[in-house]
Chains A and B, each alone.
Chain A
C-alpha cells in the first residue's frame, strides 16, 4: 500500500482584504497526494497558488477550509516538523552570522545536539560547495551562495521530506547540476523531495511525479511517464514547403506549430511516424530535418495551462 507523505483534502485559502472588500482565492479545493520516496514536481504559472500551498503545508499560513496531513499527522505536531526540511523561495538569512554559525543555529532549532552538529555542519557545507567559506559572513555571499546555504540548512537535520521552493533560481548551470545531483542522492536514500521550480527541463530530469496548478487548482497530476505518454510529436523542417505537402501532412497529423519552413506535427501513434515521412516525400517535399520526440514537460505544461485558461 502506498504511503503518502503529503495528503491534502479540499484545501482552500482565501485572502480577504476587509478595507477594499475584496477576496482572492489563492488555493481552491486542492487535493494532492505525494507518495513517499519520490521526487514530486509542483508546477504552475506565477500566481497559481504554489507558494501559498507550500506555506500552508508548513503551517505558516492557515487554510480557510479543508485539511491536510504530513506523514499522517497534523503539521502542528512537533514530531512531524522534525522530519521536514524547507528552502523558501524568497528568503534572507541573518547576514551578520557566518555560514557555520547560521547552520549551528538552525541545527539547534531543529533539535540536533552539539555532537551531531559538529559532524554534520562540515558535511553539508561540503555537499553544497561552501566548506571553504564556512567562516565567512553570510552578507559576503552572492545570491547563489546564499541559495546553496539555504539548501544546506534544509538538509542539515537529515529530514525525510525536503520542500524546495525554486532551489535553483539564483544558481549558475554548474550549481543547478549540483542541486539536481543532490536531489537524486536524496531520493536514492529514500527521502521525499517536493520541488517547486519554473525550470521545467530540470523538473523533467529529476521528478517521478508532477502536479500542474493553475488559478489555485490542480489541473493535472500523475507520474511523469503517464502524463507524457500522449501522442508522439515530430519536428519537421522542409527546404521549400508547398501547399500540397502541407495538405499531405494534415491528412495524417495535427500541426501544432508552424514557422516558415519548420513545423511541429502530432501523430496518433508511433507507427504513424514513418507514414508521415513517406507522405511528405511523396508529396514532393524535401526533408531537411525530421526529428520524432516525446512530448516534453514544457509542451505539457503549456498545453495544460492554455487548456485551463
Chain B
C-alpha cells in the first residue's frame, strides 16, 4: 500500500511542478469566459423573460460539456505519459527492481493522475455554477449531482489512456486515446444522422460504439441529473425524447464495470510485458 501512495504522490508532485496548473488556470478562464459570452448574448434581449429564464439553464448545461471536455483532455494528457514515457526515458528501470509489485506502479500512477484531473474537473464545475450565479443571478443547486457524474469522464478516459500506456509507445498512446475519444464523441452525430436519414447501418454502428466506449451512457446520465432545469421546449422535442432517455441501472453498472475492467487489464498487461 505504501508503494502505491509513494508513486501516486510522486506523480502528483511532478504534475504540479510541471506547471500543469497553468493549463488548469487557462481552462478556468475559458469556463468563466463561456458564461460571460452567454450573459452578453442574453443581455441583448434583457426584457424578454423567456430568454432570461432559458439562457442561464442552457449555459449551465453546455458549460458542463466544456468541463467534461477539459477534464477528459487533462486526464488523457497526464495518463498518456504516465507509464509509456517513463519506460521510454528509463525512469522506471530504477523503480521496478525495488521490492514492489508492478500492479502497485499502475495503481499509483492511476491514483496520481486522477487526483489531479478530478480535483480540477470538480473545481471547473463549481466555478461554472458560481459564474452563472454571479453573472446571471441564478442558482441551480438542485443539479448538484451532475458535476459528480461529470467526474466519471476523466476517470473513463484517464483509465483507458493508462491502459494504452502500458503496452504502447507514448506517440501511439496519444493516438489511441484520441481515436477512442473521437469514436465516443461520434456516436451521437451518427445516431442523429441514422435517424434523420433513416440509415439502419449507421444506427447499428452507433449502438455498438456506445458499448465500445460507453460515453453515451455517461452523457445521458449527466443530462438526467440536469433534467429539472432543461427548458420545457427542449424536453418536448421529438429528437430529445429519441436520444436522451436516462440510462438504465444496467447501463450505469456497465460504465463502472468498464472502468474497473480497463484498470485490471492495464495491471495484467503491464505485469506481463518486458520493460
A residues engaging B (CB < 8 A)? 55, 58-62, 78-79, 81-82, 84, 86-88, 90-94, 96-97, 105-106, 108-111, 150, 153
Q: Which chain B positions have C-beta within 8 A of A84?
A: 97
Chain A nearest CB from B92 CB (Å) reads 8
Is B274 an interface residue when CB atoms closer than 8 A count as contact? Answer: yes
Complex formed: what's the CA distance from A58 to B97 in Å?
6
- One digit per residue, 1 when the CB lies within 8 angstroms of any chain A CB and 0 when it does not, for chain B 15-35 equals 001100000000000000000
Query: When the two chains form their complex, are residues B99 and A94 in contact, meaning their CB atoms are under 8 A apart?
Result: no
Q: Closest CB-CB distance, A244 to chain B, in whole Å?
A: 59
Look across to chain A and name the residue whose beta carbon is closest to the beta carbon of B272: A62
Query: Given A60-B274, A86-B94, A93-B94, do A110 and B99 touch, yes or no (CB 8 Å)?
Result: yes
Asked if B97 contacts A97 (CB within 8 A), the reply is no
Nearest A residue (CB) for B5: A108
The 3 nearest A-B residue pairs measured at CB:
A88-B93, A96-B17, A91-B90
CA distance A96 to B17 in the complex (A): 7
Q: Within 8 Å CB of B93, what residues of A?
A: 60, 86, 88, 90-91
Contact B97 A96 (CB under 8 A): no
In the bound complex, do residue B18 and residue A81 qualify as a contact, i.e. CB atoms below 8 Å apart?
no
* CB atoms of A60 and B96 under 8 A apart: yes
* C-alpha spacing A108/B8, complex, angstroms: 13
Contact, CB under 8 Å: B6 / A105: yes
- CB-based nearest B residue for A82: B99
**Binary per-residue interface labels of chain B (76-92) against chain A in the complex, 1 for a CB within 8 Å, 0 otherwise:** 00000000000001110
Q: Is the CB of A94 within 8 A of B14?
A: yes
CB-defined contacts of B13 to chain A, threshold 8 Å:
96-97
B2 within 8 A of A: yes
Interface majority SS (helix, strand, loop, mixed), chain A: loop
Query: In the docked arrangement, what's the CA distance between A90 and B99, Å?
Result: 21
B6 contacts across to A, CB distance below 8 A? 105, 108-109
Considering only CB atoms, which chain A residue lies closest to B105 in the complex?
A: A109
Return the chain B residue nearest A137 by Cβ. Answer: B17
**For residue B261, which residues in chain A have a CB less than 8 angstroms away from its CB?**
none
Say yes or no: A109 contacts B274, CB within 8 Å.
no
Do A94 and B91 have beta carbons less than 8 Å apart?
A: yes
B94 A106 Cβ-Cβ under 8 A: yes
Chain B residues whose CB sits within 8 angstroms of the CB of A153 once the complex forms: 94
Does B205 interact with chain A (Cβ within 8 Å)? no
What is the chain A residue whose CB lies nearest that of B2?
Answer: A108
Q: Taking chain B's interface residues, is the majority helix, strand, or loop, or is none over half, making it mixed?
A: helix
Name 23 interchain pairs, CB-CB below 8 A, sorted by A.
A58-B96, A60-B93, A61-B275, A62-B274, A81-B100, A84-B97, A86-B93, A86-B94, A86-B97, A87-B94, A88-B93, A90-B90, A91-B93, A91-B94, A93-B91, A93-B94, A96-B17, A96-B18, A97-B10, A108-B2, A108-B6, A109-B95, A153-B94
Q: CB-CB < 8 A to A61: which residues of B?
A: 274-275
Chain A: CB-nearest residue to B91: A92
B233 within 8 A of A: no
Question: Considering only CB atoms, which chain A residue lies closest to B93 in the complex?
Answer: A88
- Cβ contacts under 8 Å, A55 to chain B: 274-275
Task: Looking at the assembled complex, report how far the CB atom of B101 sits from the nearest CB atom of chain A, in whole angstroms.
Answer: 8
Q: Known pairs A88-B90, A90-B90, A106-B98. 6 more at Cβ < 8 A?
A: A59-B96, A81-B97, A96-B18, A97-B13, A109-B3, A150-B94
Which of B13, B99, B274 gathers the greatest number of chain A CB atoms within 10 Å?
B99
Contact A88 to B94, CB < 8 A, known contacts A94-B14, A96-B18 = yes
Minimum C-beta distance from B4 to chain A (A): 11
CB distance from A77 to the nearest CB of B (A): 9
Residues of B within 8 A of A62 (CB): 272, 274
Q: Note all chain B residues with C-beta closer than 8 A to A93.
A: 91, 94
Cβ of A110 and Cβ of B98 under 8 Å apart? Answer: yes
Q: Are B97 and A60 in contact, CB atoms less than 8 angstroms apart?
A: yes
Q: Which residue of B lies closest to A60 (CB)?
A: B275
CB distance from A65 to the nearest CB of B (A): 15
Docked CA distance A153–B97 (Å): 12
Report the minimal beta-carbon distance from A136 to chain B, rounded to whole angstroms. Answer: 14
Interfacial chain B residues near A79, Cβ < 8 Å: 99
- Please, which residues of chain B bring their CB within 8 A of the CB of A96? 13-14, 17-18
State in angstroms the CA–CA spacing of A88 and B90 once bound together.
8
Inside 8 A of B95's CB, which chain A residues have their CB? 106, 109
> B175-214 CB contact bits vs A (8 Å, 1 = yes)?
0000000000000000000000000000000000000000
User: In the complex, which residue of chain A has the Cβ closest to the Cβ of B15?
Assistant: A96
A150 to B14 Cα, complex, angstroms = 19
Q: Complex: how many Å from CA A124 to CA B272?
A: 34
Assembled-state Cα–Cα distance A62/B274 (Å): 6
